[in-house]
Amino acid sequence: MATSFSRRGHLLLLLLAAVASACLGTAAANQAGSGEGYTIAGRIKIDGANVKGFGLPAKTSNTKVILNGGQRVTFARPDGYFAFHNVPAGTHLIEVSSIGYFFSPVRVDISARNPGYIQAALTETRRALNELVLEPLKEEQYYEVREPFSVMSLLKSPMGLMVGFMVLMVFVMPKMMENIDPEEMKQAQEQMRNNPVSFSSLLSRAQG
Amino acid sequence: MAAPPRRPLLVFLAGLLLVASLATLAEAIYEDQVGLADWHQKYIGKVKQAVYHSQKSGRRRVVVLTEENVLSSLDLRSGDIFWRHVIDKNDPLDQLSLSLGKYVITLSSGGTILRAWNLPDGQMIWETNLQTSTASDPQLLIMSNNKVAKDNLVLVSAGRWIYAVSSIDGAISWEKEFSFDGLEIKQVFQSSENDIVYAVGISGSSKLALYQLSAKTGEILKDVQESIPGELCGEVVLGSDDVLVALNKARSSLFLIEFKSERISYNKVHLSDLVQDLSGTFKLQSLSNGIIALQTSSAVSLLKLKGTDGLEVVQRFDQPAALSDALTITEKDEAFAIVQHVGSQIEFLVKFTSDISSESIREKVNIDQNRGNVEKVFLNSYIRTDKSHGFRALVVMEDHSLLLIQQGEVVWSREDGLASIVDVTTSELPVEKDGVSVADVEHNLFEWLKGHMLKLKGTLMLANADEVAAIQALRLKSSEKNKMTRDHNGFRKLLIVLTKAGKVIALHTGDGRIVWSNLLPSLRASRFGGIPSALRIYQWQVPHHSVMRENPSVLVVGKSGAESSAPGVFSILDSYSGEELNSMKLDHSVVQIIPLTLKDSSEQRLHLIVDSNSNAHLYPKSPDALDVFLHEMSNLYFYSVDIQTNVIRGYSLQKSCDINGDEYCFGTKELWSIIFPSDSERIAISETRKMNEVVHTQAKTIGDHDVMYKYLSKNLVFVATMSPKAAGDIGSALPEEASLVAYLIDAVTGRILHRVTHHGAQGPVHAVLSENWVVYHYFNLRAHRFEMAVIEIYDQSRADNKDVMKLILGKHNLSAPITSYARPEVVVKSQSYFFTHSVKAMAVTQTAKGITSKQLLIGTIGDQVLALDKRYLDPRRSANPTQQEKEEGIIPLTDSLPIIPQSFVTHSHQVEALRGIVSIPAKLESTTLVFTYGVDLFYTQLAPSRTYDSLTDEFSYALLLITIAVLVAAIIATWIWSEKKELRDKWR
């Protein structure tokens, strides 16, 4: 815990105030493209330790960070840092696209009244972020996982159930026979002897 | 009292088994099924810059930059992609260079963003934002042999700024803004002997400024300005070490400017003295040692500089040719390549700048005629085993393909035109001529059983690694899916795609291979002055019945210029061979193309092309087609959406036309128009139903046995408008000033059936319309999340028909003609949900009969395609559904739509720069074919309600056979046993 804190540092929500103070409004806006606006800087943290099953370390090389639905796109550096420069004050949306991970979009508010004040919150969970460290909410598994072969799965299949039922009957039926009244039993046996019904005759009847 | 007969039991058992095996089929696929029904192809687009690795590194790689905004590292031996980054279109890549042999440096967004990428794996190392005004022509220079530190400075010039950036960490070493008014720096170069950087800029049209800067500090050592009479057009190249060559505005003469001395001195040379018949646009290119190339569309001239005194023509190539940059071979000597067309071949020439008149290499290479002209050449050298220099070159062709030429042969080629698909259609494959017996396919029963035993082992997870590999190989080997004939299930088709370069390519759905390709002559830029653009591709003739013997054909429509009034071009191609059957240049422009449902006697589909004068032209131009058309003309209406003027107009057709004597031309009459107030609403998107969509049921039975009739009209149009402030990007508008209005409009009458306003909503809007519903995606500024809304529209006028008595007595209105003019009584239901991602494209699955439930195909910002069941977008969802509704399958309402990773149809692939999703019905009702294109291509088969009508590959026949065998054996055993028992009983 302590190590990770020191590694992250404190200045993740960096804010560089405008060159000619954005409060001046029109005066700053006239300077076409040169330096008005703020910088949104943050970090993407994909924990390699969490990766189950894959032997590969989590790679940031194909992680894209998208501002406002595609207005600007940047890539994460090897250490996970990214930055957007010259972002005007307002409410913005940051999305992270990385195959295999699900990231929540982040709402970033840059205050126009007090320059240097930025708020960030995950839109999926509405959790506010103290520092702009984006972590995947979950890993995405794109494939169905094959169930390993097990006796239970075989038993659960319809055929297994049928076999199970039959086996059950083999053991339970004699028990049930025991409970029947001996006189009734004798009567039934008598009946059976009088009209013998056999499996072979059943078969021949079915064929006929 | 008879026991159930045994035979039906057997069938029942088999049935149970079947159900059991189907139940295990999930929507998603298993990892070992990848590549069975799907394929993924990676492309990069048309290469515009290429930089080779240095020979020392030993790796044979090339880094390229393409017009699709892709940065990629390719293997020079095979053309395979090592790594690739697709950069957003908003951030166009301008320049590319290598630094220190291990970094790739790119400059993008008009010289404001500088990035460094790790050469071996493509990881971004650093990114530096430069504060410049975006310039049209930013320059990038990597300084060499800087002895100050073990660091190569990267010089970036854009507009009035020059930045020097460390190539190791991207830190800005120094920056310089020149105070000279309106200056635009055109050239930055380093002198070979000392640490001096020269910057040449032009201000206005006649002022030339030259600066000498210290490479270490950026301090201005010297600056000279000179006014040049006769205006400069801005094109300046470095002719030799001390002479600049600039073109004047009239593009008729060159200025030779000497700049190394104290004062700038210049000399003017008329181009007409050097090169005759100079017409059209041309390009100046500097090779080293005072050689300058002048490139026009039809010829290349090599000029040699004689100090500032003048120029002389050294050589002239009259064929269309391409020229590479100069490549340093030795200290003094540099080589360059010229590739020109000679007959059906191309000729590859390598020359040294020291001896311009002779060639080092002259090789003839045979290439595919469907590739067009050579557009770009990138030369590279290598050391042969005998220590001499060998040359190879990457050649970019007119169809955007990339070839590597070495030793007179094409080593590999990449069909990169497929990165820029404009439109897609499909065609059936030919019918199999001779019936192939089952024995041919399953040639050996033993082999067949063995295969199925293996598969059984695989399903039961009993197979070892070798066997798993064997199963995989067996599956891929089954060539069934790659045959060139029509199959029973309709999975095998041709995907016919039209690319930006005007090339038509047919891909086989089985494995994505190219069956044929044709670079259409009518869409080639070299033939006409203007730049032609390919527009759309349609099915022209789909033979049935009487013309079964004929091949199907496709229609390609294009424009011969960029402006809307440019005349159209029209071409018909055979779907099986790609041969051009007919090609014509239209005498009118193409504004709108309307494929009609009508067909003439030869099964050619009728098309109306509306020109810029609002005249409609009928194709094909045959009397037969005209008869069919005139018969139906009074029932034909069309509409147009004009985003510029914010108007939707509906038209009918009239017989008369402005052009006299053309009986295939029809006038149009405006019937209605909807004018949106420009100050509050701007049209963002309009969407209509797919023409080929089939709807199976007109009614929907709801839980309480009530019936709702869908409002199914082919004329339903969905239009979304946005307030002007909300038209920009997400951060730009406040919730109070943004709104989105959704309309459902009947396109025949112009009647607005439904209108709904979403306050605080913003674009971009994506929509899909199908059956009686529309789903659209937008951004909710209040919640700051993306939202998807659904509108379902039901016909109320038919709601009374559920009374059985009325139906029997004939008092229903089911047989009443349905007309668009009748005032529809409609009921609309709608609902909206949150959706996590931005959306790039949206489509809906299409099946042959429309019975299978629908899935939305959503192309997300991560370039993946998500299949989302339509049941999630059902306005009748509620938080606590009643028992009846639960039975009906209504999902309890949640505030956001679920994203289940297994329902990504692209699974672990990304379709980079995704642009379009097409769903094509297969013959098998349960299955639809999905083709997704962007820079990459992806194809897969999808079964939205699972494959209920066929057994899949996964089905284990062996298990079925074994079960049947065991059951039969058991029956026989019981029978014998019973017989014996009976006999014993009788003897008793």
Is the pLDDT at B573 greater than 80? The verdict is yes
Q: For the segment B443-460, what is each residue's pLDDT rounded down to a tens digit? A: 567 777 777 777 777 766
- Report residue A51 as tokens: 């990766």
Quote the number of domains for chain A.
2
Q: Give residue B109's pLDDT.
A: 86
Rounded to whole angstroms, how far apart are CA atoms B315 and B362?
Answer: 15
What's the whole-number mean pLDDT along residues B179-191? 80
Query: Measured at the alpha carbon of residue B359, what is the angle toward residues B358 and B365, in degrees to the nearest 5?
Result: 150
Q: For the segment B521-562, what is each residue's pLDDT rounded down to a tens digit? A: 888 765 445 677 778 899 888 877 665 678 889 999 988 877
Q: Which of B57-61, B234-238, B513-517, B917-921 has the lowest mean pLDDT?
A: B57-61
What is the residue-averaged pLDDT of chain B? 82
Sort out which chain B residues have CB atoms less than 8 A from A41's CB and list them.
none
Chain B contact for A189 (CB, 8 A cutoff)? no
Rounded to the nearest 10°, the torsion over CA B243, B248, B251, B253 is -60
Is the pLDDT at B977 greater than 50? The verdict is yes
More confident residue, A69 or B46: B46
B903, closest residue in chain A (CA to CA) = A142
Q: Which positions 19-58 of A are in contact with B (Cβ < 8 Å)?
A: 32-35
Identify whether A60 is part of a domain: yes
A&B contacts, CB < 8 Å: 174
More confident residue, B493 or B344: B493
Sort out which chain B residues have CB atoms less than 8 A from A68's CB and list them.
729-731
**Same domain, yes or no: A83 and A131:** yes
**Same domain, yes or no: A126 and A47:** yes
Q: For the segment B210-233, what is each residue's pLDDT rounded down to a tens digit? A: 888 888 888 888 888 888 776 777
Predicted confidence band at B1 (pLDDT cuts at 50, 70, 90)? very low
The CATH number of residue A100's host domain is 2.60.40.1120
CB-CB contact of B171 with B114 (8 Å): no
Q: Give residue A52's pLDDT.
A: 42
Predicted confidence band at B23 (pLDDT cuts at 50, 70, 90)? very low
Q: Give residue B818's pLDDT.
A: 65
- Asked if B460's CB is within 8 angstroms of A149's CB, the reply is yes
What's the whole-number mean pLDDT along residues B48-66? 82
Query: Using CB atoms, which residue from A73, A105, A147 is nearest to B836?
Result: A105
Is the pLDDT at A32 greater than 60? The verdict is no
**Same domain, yes or no: A91 and A174:** no
Q: For the segment B696-734, what is each residue's pLDDT rounded down to a tens digit? A: 888 887 777 778 888 888 889 999 999 988 877 787 788
More confident residue, A59 or A152: A152
Asked whether this complex has an ipTM greater than 0.90, the answer is no
Chain B contact for A157 (CB, 8 A cutoff)? yes
Q: For the segment B902-925, what is each residue's pLDDT rounded down to a tens digit? A: 889 998 889 999 999 999 999 888
Predicted confidence band at B695 (pLDDT cuts at 50, 70, 90)? confident
**Same domain, yes or no: A135 and A156:** no
Residue the block writes with tokens 């201000």? B203
What's the whole-number mean pLDDT along residues B82-101? 87
Q: Which positions 704-763 of B are in contact with A (Cβ < 8 Å)?
A: 729-732
Q: Give residue B293's pLDDT.
A: 85
Give the end of a domain, one of A139, A169, A202: A139
Provide the percentage of residues in chain B whose pLDDT is more than 70: 88
CB-CB contact of B837 with B862 (8 Å): yes
- Report residue B834 as tokens: 């949150």
For B179, phi then psi, to 5°, come to -85, -10
Identify whether A8 is part of a domain: no
Predicted confidence band at B475 (pLDDT cuts at 50, 70, 90)? low
What's the whole-number mean pLDDT along residues B499-518? 90
- Asked if A141's CB is within 8 angstroms of B901's CB, the reply is yes
β-pairing, A81-87 vs B172-177, is unpaired
Query: Measured at the alpha carbon of residue B386, what is the angle toward residues B384 and B392, in degrees to the nearest 5?
Result: 20
Give the end of a domain, one of A100, A117, A139: A139
Q: Give residue B820's pLDDT.
A: 63
Sort out which chain A residues have CB atoms less than 8 A from B90's CB and list them.
70-73
**Same domain, yes or no: A89 and A169:** no
- Report residue B522 as tokens: 């009518």
How far apart are the CA of A115 and the nearest CA of chain B, in angstroms?
17
- Asked if A78's CB is within 8 angstroms of B461's CB, the reply is no
CB-CB contact of B41 with B936 (8 Å): yes
Chain A contact for B779 (CB, 8 A cutoff)? yes
**Same domain, yes or no: A65 and A134:** yes
- Asked if A201's CB is within 8 angstroms of B133's CB, the reply is no
Identify whether A84 is part of a domain: yes
Identify whether A146 is part of a domain: no
Predicted confidence band at B39 (pLDDT cuts at 50, 70, 90)? very high
A153, closest residue in chain B (CA to CA) = B460
Sort out which chain A residues have CB atoms less than 8 A from B896's CB and list them.
124
**Considering only CA atoms, which of B522, B398, B354, B334 is closest in space to residue B47?**
B398
Predicted confidence band at B740 (pLDDT cuts at 50, 70, 90)? very high
- Helix A199-207 to helix B6-23 angle (10° resolution) is 90
**Considering only CA atoms, which of B162, B82, B66 is closest in space to residue B120?**
B82
Identify whether A17 is part of a domain: no
Identify whether A199 is part of a domain: no
Q: Which of A65-74, B12-21, B359-368, B704-713 has the lowest mean pLDDT?
A: B12-21
Sort out which chain B residues have CB atoms less than 8 A from A148's CB and list them.
461
Q: Give residue B819's pLDDT.
A: 66
**Same domain, yes or no: A53 and A131:** yes
What's the whole-number mean pLDDT along residues B972-988? 90
Chain A contact for B683 (CB, 8 A cutoff)? no
Is the pLDDT at B988 greater than 70? The verdict is yes
Rounded to whole angstroms, how far apart are CA atoms A193 and B663?
Answer: 96
Rounded to whole angstroms, how far apart are CA atoms B792 and B871?
Answer: 12
Query: Using CB atoms, which residue from B88, B783, B977 is nearest to A70?
Result: B88
How far apart are the CA of B191 and the nearest CA of chain A, in angstroms?
30
- Asked if A99's CB is within 8 angstroms of B127's CB, the reply is no
- Asked if A68's CB is within 8 angstroms of B985's CB, the reply is no
**Considering only CA atoms, which of B969, B947, B23, B956 is closest in space to residue A157?**
B23
A142, closest residue in chain B (CA to CA) = B902
Q: For the segment B939-974, what is each residue's pLDDT rounded down to a tens digit? A: 999 988 887 877 766 666 777 888 889 989 999 999
Chain B contact for A85 (CB, 8 A cutoff)? yes
Give the end of a domain, one of A119, A139, A159: A139
Rounded to whole angstroms, how far apart are CA atoms A68 and B472?
Answer: 43
Predicted confidence band at A202 (pLDDT cuts at 50, 70, 90)? low
Q: Give residue B2's pLDDT.
A: 38
Rounded to whole angstroms, how far apart are CA atoms B197 and B192?
Answer: 10
Chain A contact for B936 (CB, 8 A cutoff)? no
Is the pLDDT at A57 greater than 70? The verdict is no
CB-CB contact of B424 with B499 (8 Å): no
Rounded to whole angstroms, how far apart are CA atoms B121 and B600?
Answer: 57
Query: Using CB atoms, which residue from B26, B133, B979 is nearest to A144?
Result: B26
Rounded to whole angstroms, how far apart are CA atoms B635 and B819?
Answer: 11
- Asked if A70's CB is within 8 angstroms of B90's CB, the reply is yes
**Same domain, yes or no: A74 and A127:** yes
Chain B contact for A70 (CB, 8 A cutoff)? yes
What's the whole-number mean pLDDT along residues A125-140? 84
Residue the block writes with tokens 């950036």? B165
Identify whether A132 is part of a domain: yes
**Same domain, yes or no: A75 and A132:** yes
Q: For the segment B788-821, what is each residue's pLDDT rounded down to a tens digit? A: 999 999 988 776 665 656 656 655 555 666 666 6
Q: Give residue B429's pLDDT.
A: 86
**Same domain, yes or no: A169 and A100:** no
Is the pLDDT at B70 greater than 60? The verdict is yes
A138, closest residue in chain B (CA to CA) = B901
Give the N- to C-terminal CA distance of chain A in Å, as an integer: 81
Q: Which of B256-260, B273-277, B320-324, B503-507 has the lowest mean pLDDT?
A: B273-277
How far apart are the CA of A121 and the nearest CA of chain B, in angstroms?
10
In B547-664, alpha helices (H): 623-632
Is the pLDDT at B192 greater than 70? The verdict is no
What's the whole-number mean pLDDT along residues B197-212? 82
CB burial string B430-442: b at 16+ within 10 A, e below: eeeeeeeeeeeee
**Same domain, yes or no: A128 and A162:** no
DSSP per position, B281-343: -EEEEE-STTEEEEEESS-EEEEEEETTTEEEEEEEE-S-EEEPPPEE-SSS-EEEEEEEEET
What's the whole-number mean pLDDT along residues B932-937? 94
How far apart are the CA of B771 and the nearest CA of chain A, in angstroms?
29
Domain boundaries, position A157: 151-193
Q: For the segment B246-255, what is each residue's pLDDT rounded down to a tens digit? A: 887 777 778 8
Q: Give residue B526's pLDDT.
A: 52
What's the whole-number mean pLDDT along residues B246-266? 78
Identify whether A49 is part of a domain: yes
Chain A contact for B40 (CB, 8 A cutoff)? no
Q: Which positions 848-867 of B are in contact with A (Cβ < 8 Å)?
A: 861-864
Q: Residue B712 is which amino acid?
A: L
Chain A contact for B900 (CB, 8 A cutoff)? no
Q: For the segment B281-315, what is each residue's pLDDT rounded down to a tens digit? A: 677 888 777 788 888 777 788 888 877 777 888 88
- Asked if B785's CB is within 8 angstroms of A95's CB, the reply is no
Strands, sheet with B113-118, edge to edge from the N-terminal-most edge strand: B93-99, B103-108, B113-118, B124-129
Is the pLDDT at B874 greater than 70? The verdict is yes
**Same domain, yes or no: A129 and A45:** yes
